[in-house]
Structure 1
């Protein structure tokens, strides 16, 4: 992380929803290393506690259920002043259009769009002037693939929300979105190791960079977005070239 980004985040209050694992945990670790005062949140307190212990330093834990609006409201009220809110937590549902159960689609919309929407709305009064909100979408948003059309649609909705809020909250809060490609995280730990590595090789081999991403690469992009006061309404693609691949 360069010195400018480190200085801009030093002493800043940063809340990472989804900070208990994967990309969120990496963002929290990098933000803490630059001097940020970091709070990590997710539904699972045990996972948060383990992540805080692993990261070390001054990491606060604040569990929240993104599907419970009343709980989100109470959680936001309990927060102190916030400089940067980052929301990585979500659940993805894969399946072809004809086959994806409606309940799975609804659960994904609740987790990936409505949850972040409500968290951002309820936290807004806690965010300091010149602060930021960073949403997460995904590489399928503008280049969908068969079997993930629902996920692509939800990702694109998050990006539209980002651009709309950047205008609506202009002069108050900057709003941006990170759009990652496939990244090696615990999200795929449920797969047999051999199958998982085959998937990584297949997806990565089709990308210009020749591999899938690492959590720390997404974290560096997120810190740049938080630290750059001239960025709002931006969709930052950190996807290994997914959008330009052949």
Structure 2
């Protein structure tokens, strides 16, 4: 499918690496003018920063929110302040942007959640809850913001800089274990998720949807 976005204005929040960067590159390859604010320019966990950045911004045709900083852990083991910070980042960061951003009619807003919303882990209960809340937010916004379309793309395990803190051997072992378990027989790549983001952003009949791109992780035993 040939997608031509020449002249379109696209905002990608979280484009410094991983999925966000791949999504920004995909939009740019389709001819769009892509805006990639750094966290220093736009801190979406801060009301004042969000208000200041968007005060000088014209309307966009497509907006993607792929940024989040969350600590993981069990409910019993994760400090409440860390849990609140995670919710403030991934959920309320998206909420702040959705509240203030101007999107042209027929345009789109896309969130990035994660398959833990459908396949919870005892070690990452909060992440699953945040992802589920984000997906519910998108469904509601699809009604509130119509005819602007609002969707969510839900990735599984993706090889991104998120795992850069692991040793190379541990990281490789983790991906090999995942590949053996997943029906797709490999972990995801940022470009896999970016193609799904581009799809929901440009498909005029896609709204209120959650598109899971997880290599079969949700259904794997």
Shorter-chain TM band: over 0.9
What's the counterpart of residue 176 of structure 2? 201
Q: CA deviation at 1:77?
A: 1.6
Task: Measure the CA separation in 1 of the matches of 2:71 and 2:177.
Answer: 20
Q: Please, which runs of 5 or more residues in structure 2 have no aligned partner?
A: none
Q: Give runs of aligned pairs for residues 58-97 of structure 1, distance below 5 A.
A: 63-97=41-75
Q: CA deviation at 1:205?
A: 2.0
- SS of 1:243's equivalent in the other structure is coil
What's the counterpart of residue 192 of structure 1? 167
Task: Measure the CA separation in 2 of the matches of 1:10 and 1:237.
Answer: 28
4+ residue runs over 4 A deviation: none
Task: Measure the CA separation in 1 of the matches of 2:71 and 2:176.
Answer: 21
Task: Measure the CA separation in 1 of the matches of 2:179 and 2:79.
Answer: 28
Answer yes or no: is 1:137 the counterpart of 2:113.
yes
- SS of 2:36's equivalent in the other structure is strand
Task: Measure the CA separation in 1 of the matches of 2:70 and 2:184.
Answer: 24
Q: CA deviation at 1:92?
A: 2.7
Query: What's the CA shift string for 1:85-117, capped at 9, x where partnerless?
Result: 100000232112211111211111011000111
Do the aligned residues in 2 keep the contact of 1:18 with 1:89 (CA within 8 Å)?
A: yes
Q: CA deviation at 1:180?
A: 0.4
Q: Please, which runs of 5 or more residues in structure 1 have no aligned partner?
A: 45-62
What's the counterpart of residue 27 of structure 1? 23
Answer yes or no: is 1:163 the counterpart of 2:139.
yes
What's the counterpart of residue 239 of structure 1? 214
Q: CA deviation at 1:10?
A: 2.4
Do the aligned residues in 2 keep the contact of 1:42 with 1:89 (CA within 8 Å)?
A: no
Q: Give runs of aligned pairs for residues 95-174 of structure 1, distance below 5 A.
A: 95-123=73-101, 126-171=102-147, 173-174=148-149
Task: Measure the CA separation in 2 of the matches of 1:128 and 1:245.
Answer: 39
Do the aligned residues in 2 keep the contact of 1:93 with 1:150 (CA within 8 Å)?
A: no
Query: What's the CA shift string for 1:8-48, capped at 9, x where partnerless?
Result: x222100000011111011111110110110012314xxxx
RMSD: 1.1
Task: Measure the CA separation in 1 of the matches of 2:45 and 2:141.
Answer: 21
What's the counterpart of residue 11 of structure 1? 7
- SS of 2:205's equivalent in the other structure is coil
Task: Measure the CA separation in 2 of the matches of 1:178 and 1:96.
Answer: 25
- SS of 1:183's equivalent in the other structure is coil
Query: What's the CA shift string for 1:159-203, capped at 9, x where partnerless?
Result: 1101111112222x1100000011111111111111111111222
- Using structure 2 for the length normalisation, give the TM-score: 0.97
- SS of 1:100's equivalent in the other structure is coil
Task: Measure the CA separation in 1 of the matches of 2:189 and 2:17.
Answer: 13
